[in-house]
């Protein structure tokens, strides 16, 4: 049994926070990759996040499910553990070594377009409409304009094609996970975030051992970056993502991914002194127009108009 869609002012605030948080994650990930291998980076951030969330969950003493879950629900959660963090973290960390940052940004923005048809068929009340579809397409065009031709330029890496497939597969993992998460029965949000992170750690650590061997001892700078990645864009962001998907639905959550490239560009300008692209204003107008069109009903409900 799924919950009713409940898009509130808090929902909008959370997706803005998530867009800002994940917008800076690509930059921080590139810094971390200077001192640690991709799979161990994924393992490190997931493990740190799962330990932190487990401590918080246990301090509350809340059970995960209101009723004992079936075997199929348990199996679904293992799939979610793989799709929510383990597989996409490994794919993105590896893929970013072989593709341009622009392509990685477009891949994440494509999540919204992937979620829309999946939700149409698998989530009651999330059917595609002409307004939603047009809005998401307009928003995606805005992202492509913002990133520009660099999104489709070659990085020159020998494994670029594999890197692009890795980024797109990571995006699909996030999309499918959102659908599965919405379909779960009543569940404690902090507990769900915690269990999925623990499952992710149980999956990614053995894979990292097999593929990359024992991890190198990270230098203090790299260790601090891993801790930051585990605390903010993994532990805190996974909890907020779970909260939004369970309450407002996966389609609403997917608009976060249109913000990520915008925040990435803005943070690059503020923190690294990178020039703002001339297309920023036009791109933001299209993205906002797309979000407004796709979420027209949510806006009306938010402001009390029937």
Render pLDDT for 155-201 as a digit per residue (tens, 0 to 9). 677 788 898 899 899 999 999 999 999 988 888 889 999 999 999 99
CA dist 251 and 245 (Å) reads 8
**pLDDT for residue 153 is more than 70:** no
Q: What is the DSSP letter of 98?
A: T
Average pLDDT of span 207-217: 91
Q: For residues 91-107, give the mean pLDDT.
A: 81
Interval 271-281: pLDDT, tens: 777 677 777 77
Q: Work out the number of other CB atoms within 10 angstroms of the CB of residue 130.
A: 8
d(CA 264, CA 22): 8
Site of tokens 């990685």:
104
Mean pLDDT of 266-287: 78
pLDDT at 67 over 80: no
Alpha carbon distance 96, 107 (integer Å): 11
Q: Residue 130, SS3?
A: helix
Query: How distant, in Å, are the alpha carbons of 7, 51, 119 from that of 125?
Result: 13, 36, 9
Query: At which residue do the structure tokens 């940004």 appear?
Result: 105
Helix locations, 129-236, DSSP H: 130-147, 160-182, 189-212, 220-229
| Residue for token pair 């963090």 | 85
Q: State mean pLDDT over 52-66.
A: 87
Mean pLDDT of 3-22: 84
* 90 has a pLDDT exceeding 70: yes
Burial 102-119 (b: 16+ CB within 10 A, else e): bbbbbbbbbbbbbbbebb
Cα–Cα–Cα angle for 52, 29, 251, rounded to 5 degrees: 75
Could you tell me which residues come within 8 angstroms of residue 306 by beta carbon, excluding any fewer than 6 positions away?
Answer: 300
The residue with tokens 């009340």 is: 125
* 3-class SS of residue 287: helix
- State pTM to two decimals: 0.85
**pLDDT above 60 (res 217):** yes
Closest CA to 40 of 219, 238, 214: 214
Q: State residue 273's pLDDT score.
A: 75
pLDDT surpasses 70 at 127: yes
Instruction: Give dist(CA 231, CA 277) in Å, integer.
Output: 31
pLDDT at 298: 64
| Helix%, strand%, coil% for the chain, nearest 5 | 75, 0, 25
Question: Does residue 284 carry a pLDDT above 90?
Answer: no
- Beta carbons within 8 Å of 179's beta carbon, 6+ residues apart: 115, 118, 119, 122, 123, 250
């Amino acid at each position: 049994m799924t919950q009713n869609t409940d898009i509130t002012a808090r929902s909008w605030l959370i997706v803005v926070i998530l867009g800002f948080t994940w917008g800076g994650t690509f930059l921080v990930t590139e810094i971390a990759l200077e001192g640690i291998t991709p799979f161990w980076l994924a393992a490190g951030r997931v493990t740190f996040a799962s330990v932190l969330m487990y401590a918080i969950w246990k301090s509350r003493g809340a059970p995960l499910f209101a009723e004992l879950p079936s075997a199929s629900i348990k199996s679904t959660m293992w799939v979610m553990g793989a799709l929510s963090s383990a597989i996409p973290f490994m794919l993105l960390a590896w893929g970013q070594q072989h593709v341009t940052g622009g392509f990685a940004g477009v891949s994440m923005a494509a999540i919204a377009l992937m979620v829309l048809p999946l939700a149409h068929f698998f989530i009651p009340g999330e059917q595609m409409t002409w307004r939603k579809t047009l809005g998401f397409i307009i928003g995606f065009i805005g992202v492509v304009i913002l990133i520009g031709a660099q999104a489709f330029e070659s990085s020159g890496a020998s494994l670029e094609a594999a890197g692009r497939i890795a980024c797109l597969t990571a995006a699909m993992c996030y999309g499918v996970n959102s659908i599965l998460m919405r379909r779960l029965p009543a569940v404690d949000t902090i507990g769900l975030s915690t269990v999925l992170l623990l499952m992710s750690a149980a999956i990614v650590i053995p894979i990292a051992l097999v593929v990359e061997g024992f991890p190198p001892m990270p230098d203090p700078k790299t260790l601090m970056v891993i801790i930051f990645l585990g605390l903010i864009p993994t532990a805190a962001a996974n909890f907020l993502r779970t909260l939004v998907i369970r309450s407002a639905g996966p389609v609403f959550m997917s608009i976060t991914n249109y913000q990520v490239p915008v925040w990435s560009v803005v943070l690059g300008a503020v923190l690294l002194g990178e020039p703002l692209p001339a297309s920023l204003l036009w791109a933001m107008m299209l993205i906002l127009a797309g979000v407004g069109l796709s979420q027209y009903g949510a806006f009306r409900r938010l402001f009390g108009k029937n």
